[in-house]
Structure 1
């Protein structure tokens, strides 16, 4: 476990305690996104029943990265447990799930039927990644060109690694979603000069 923590703290995503400055970030409370890419669209995801902000979807030119933050015990990683639950859930929905070793260690490559905008089902490929930090787990799901285009994959991984986690001191049960908050003001990046 120690080597995983050292690697994460060197490559990211980072814990707030590991960051010297929070300049030029978009602050969603527990998650802070450095403003790296002017072409990055951010969509907030709300829980249906509570309307809590619990996930962000970051869209590049051809890919989407959905990120969620989960609570974890201080010295006990939970990604392996979350993977097992995720595999069971996805397989019960008829998905083809393949555990792989990728850039972030243990990952899942998933192929499943999802409804399209026209009402028909289409096959969608999804890559699930996760990184354990101190008292948190950051999970990402990646779709689109980043699954087949190496430069797009590198860009999405760079965005994921650049995220700063501010888990806070609130006691939460392990594997519970950590709520996020909307940043103050306008979160759109400034327009490019013509």
Structure 2
């Protein structure tokens, strides 16, 4: 446990208390994304019932990384519990779930049928990653080229590790989605000079 905390605080994602400067970040409240990649598209994901902002989908040239932040007890990791619930939920949907050890420790490789744009279904591969921090869990799901292309995988992992978490002091039950907020103003990167 201690080694995992030291590794996370050295490699990221980082807690706000571990960051010296918040220059050049896109601020979604509880999640702050360093503006490292001008080719990164960001899509916000809203909870259907409440319309609260609860996840971000970050799209590179050929991959997508969806990130969600969950509350956790101060000194008790919850990723192992979330993994068990995730495995059960995915298997009940007919997915093939394979637990693996990856760059972030315990991960899941998933293969499942999803609807395609033309109304049929296609087989999709998904990699689930998670990192426990102080009073939070950052979960990511990765699809696309990052599952088979090592340089794309390294880029997506670099983006995930660069995220800064500002969990806040609000009391929330463990494993509760932490709501995000829209950044003020335009979040699109400045246009490149022609």
TM-score (norm 2): 1.00
Provide, for residues 131-173 of structure 1, a one-character-per-residue CA deviation record: whole Å limited to 9, x for no partner. Answer: 0000000000000000000000000000000000000000000
Within 1, Cα distance between the matches of 2:130 and 2:36?
Answer: 21
**1:147 matched to which residue of 2?**
147
Q: Which moved more, 1:184-193 or 1:123-132?
A: 184-193
Within 2, Cα distance between the matches of 1:7 and 1:74?
Answer: 18
Provide, for residues 78-110 of structure 1, a one-character-per-residue CA deviation record: whole Å limited to 9, x for no partner. Answer: 000000000000000000000000000000000
Unaligned runs of 5+ in 2: none
Within 1, Cα distance between the matches of 2:149 and 2:193?
Answer: 29
1:192 CA displacement:
1.6
Residue 10 of structure 2 aligns to a residue whose secondary structure is helix
Within 2, Cα distance between the matches of 1:72 and 1:131?
Answer: 11
Provide, for residues 172-193 of structure 1, a one-character-per-residue CA deviation record: whole Å limited to 9, x for no partner. Answer: 0000000000000000011122
Which structure 1 residue ranges, 4+ long, deviate > 6 Å from structure 2?
none
1:28 CA displacement:
0.1
Within 1, Cα distance between the matches of 2:87 and 2:150?
Answer: 25
Within 2, Cα distance between the matches of 1:66 and 1:173?
Answer: 22
Residue 68 of structure 2 aligns to a residue whose secondary structure is strand
Within 1, Cα distance between the matches of 2:147 and 2:191?
Answer: 29
Within 2, Cα distance between the matches of 1:193 and 1:11?
Answer: 34
Within 2, Cα distance between the matches of 1:14 and 1:25?
Answer: 13
Within 1, Cα distance between the matches of 2:156 and 2:185?
Answer: 26
Within 2, Cα distance between the matches of 1:171 and 1:125?
Answer: 35
Within 2, Cα distance between the matches of 1:78 and 1:166?
Answer: 18
Within 2, Cα distance between the matches of 1:189 and 1:134?
Answer: 31
Within 2, Cα distance between the matches of 1:190 and 1:36?
Answer: 13
RMSD: 0.3
